[in-house]
């Protein structure tokens, strides 16, 4: 009786506000993740705008595959140039101010694409856009690291990164509609306006940096850039992204041109079916994050989880070898869907590996380092793609796309000594 009275009085004394506050705190990370997802969707609609309209722009501006490859590579050069400064900016200013500045810079660059009247103009705008776009990944990965624990982190990164594939899914019908009704400039201006509208939402909803993350950053010993370059973890994640990053970029930038030139689809047909492989890709990214969380909850170590899932998805990526040999558009779209889904599954773990190997206060710079490597390969691979397509065909390109995910996965686990140290700690805890 006394116990019931105590419980009753405690219930009356405790106001509902703390429970509401707790619920708000629990839902806030997912709301912020939703904003990051939305930003990625917007950015990849803008990125796909160029690729969807490429057949029309190339005809109007008299661009060869090699010239188009140079325009695509300009984005990679911009990302390579901006990644490390953007990562350092996020570590120094935090995600609220850092991401707002990056998106403002990116929106201005995207709008400038509408004013380009030559291949050179498109290339300059692409470079500018790349210097801002890289901030979305540095800021996004840093934010996810501070807001989510390790069990949910890969899922959160999979959702955040999945926005890229949703953007690529929405882009073909949306951009074809804008192109047909309002001209190519509208295809660049619509995502520009969307980015500008996203900034105040982020500024007012994010509001403050997570206290736990800020406290950890303040207490952690400072580490110089030179020291980061000496770590095996830095080279591991850089090599991983060097090989894996360009694969998804190939699918984003070259799929519409492949369907138009090699499979002879019209622009309207691309608008109707070109989104299907990217929708499957988004499911792959979310599934990759969910699978990691499920394995960790069942007692698998972080390294075992990453190894199992990354090698499995890299093996599925090998099916890209078959794309040029498929007969009929149905089998082609099926193989593209499987390849994009597997690569996006793998990409969720590639980005999550940064959070495995680096403390929170270094995640921004570490992501920036991977972006430099990804920017370099993202600059070189489109150049190679353009030359191979002009001189041979898409067949050797799909062979490279099939092999590179496995190469990146092997490089990550061969070079990163810290994964082996994490396994030893897990075994010691188990004993």
Q: Is residue 304 part of a domain?
A: yes
CA distance 47 to 41: 10
Would you say residue 3 lies in a domain? no
Count of structural domains, the chain: 1
Full 3-state SS string of 90-132 = HHHHCHHHHHHHHHHHHHHHHHHHCCCCCHHHHHHHHHHHHHH
CATH of residue 291's domain is 1.20.1250.20
Q: Is residue 10 in some structural domain?
A: no
What's residue 322's pLDDT?
Answer: 92
List the domain range (segments joined by +) for residue 146: 28-203+230-430
Domain contains 11? no
Q: Is residue 158 part of a domain?
A: yes
What pLDDT was estimated at residue 316? 94
Domain contains 79: yes
Given its phi and psi angles, is residue 145 left (phi above 0), alpha (psi -120 to 50 degrees) or beta? alpha
Q: Residue with structure tokens 């804008």?
A: 178
Is-contact 72 232, C-beta < 8 A?
no
Give the pLDDT confidence score for residue 325 in this predicted structure. Answer: 92
Q: What's the rounded Cα separation, in Å, for the pair 369 and 92?
A: 16
Q: What is the pLDDT along the chain (431 residues), one digit of tens a residue?
A: 444 444 444 444 444 444 444 444 567 788 888 898 899 899 888 888 888 888 888 888 888 888 888 888 888 788 878 777 777 777 777 778 888 888 899 899 988 988 887 888 889 998 998 888 877 777 777 787 778 776 777 677 777 777 777 887 788 888 888 888 888 888 889 999 999 999 999 988 887 665 544 444 444 455 666 777 778 788 888 899 999 988 988 887 888 888 888 888 887 888 788 778 877 777 777 787 788 878 878 888 777 888 899 999 999 999 999 999 988 888 999 999 999 889 988 888 887 788 777 776 676 677 777 777 877 887 888 889 888 988 888 999 999 999 999 999 999 988 877 765 655 554 443 33
Q: In the block, which residue shows the tokens 């996004």?
A: 140
> Would 364 be classed as within a structural domain?
yes
Q: Judge whether 95 and 207 are in contact, CB under 8 Å.
A: no
Per the domain annotation, does 162 fall within a domain? yes
| Residue for token pair 């207490």 | 219
What token pair was written down for 210?
Answer: 């997570």
pTM recorded for the entire structure: 0.68
């Amino acid at each position: 009786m006394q116990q019931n009275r105590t419980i009753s009085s405690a219930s009356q004394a405790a106001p509902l506000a703390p429970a509401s506050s707790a619920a708000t705190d629990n839902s806030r990370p997912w709301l912020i993740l939703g904003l990051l997802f939305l930003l990625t969707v917007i950015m990849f609609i803008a990125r796909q705008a160029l690729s969807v309209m490429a057949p029309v722009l190339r005809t109007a501006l008299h661009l060869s595959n090699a010239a188009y490859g140079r325009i695509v590579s300009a984005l990679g050069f911009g990302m390579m140039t901006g990644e490390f400064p953007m990562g350092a900016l996020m570590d120094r200013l935090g995600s609220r101010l850092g991401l707002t500045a990056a998106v403002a810079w990116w929106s201005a660059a995207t709008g400038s694409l509408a004013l380009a009247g030559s291949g050179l103009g498109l290339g300059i705008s692409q470079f500018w856009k790349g210097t801002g776009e890289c901030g979305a990944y540095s800021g996004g990965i840093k934010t996810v690291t501070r807001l989510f624990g390790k069990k949910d982190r890969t899922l959160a990164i999979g959702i955040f990164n999945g926005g890229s594939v949703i953007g690529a899914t929405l882009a073909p019908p949306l951009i074809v509609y804008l192109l047909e009704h309002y001209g190519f400039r509208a295809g660049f201006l619509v995502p520009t306006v969307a980015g500008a509208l996203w900034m105040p939402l982020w500024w007012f909803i994010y509001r403050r940096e997570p206290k736990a993350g800020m406290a950890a950053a303040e207490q952690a010993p400072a580490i110089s850039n030179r020291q980061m370059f000496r770590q095996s973890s830095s080279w591991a994640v850089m090599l991983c992204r060097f090989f894996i990053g360009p694969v998804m970029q190939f699918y984003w930038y070259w799929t519409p041109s492949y369907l138009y030139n090699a499979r002879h689809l019209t622009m309207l047909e691309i608008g109707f079916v070109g989104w299907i492989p990217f929708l499957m890709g988004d499911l792959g990214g979310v599934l990759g994050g969910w699978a990691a969380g499920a394995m960790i909850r069942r007692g698998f170590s972080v390294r075992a989880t990453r190894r199992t899932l990354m090698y499995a998805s890299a093996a599925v990526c090998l099916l890209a070898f078959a794309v040029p040999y498929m007969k009929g558009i149905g089998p082609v779209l099926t193989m593209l869907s499987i390849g994009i889904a597997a690569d996006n599954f793998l990409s969720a773990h590639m980005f999550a590996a940064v959070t495995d190997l680096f403390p929170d206060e270094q995640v921004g710079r570490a992501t920036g380092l991977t972006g430099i490597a990804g920017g370099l390969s993202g600059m070189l691979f489109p150049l190679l793609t353009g030359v191979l397509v002009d001189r041979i065909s898409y067949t050797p390109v799909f062979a490279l796309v099939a092999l590179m995910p496995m190469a990146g996965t092997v490089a990550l686990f061969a070079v990163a000594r810290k994964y082996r140290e994490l396994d030893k700690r897990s075994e010691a805890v188990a004993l």
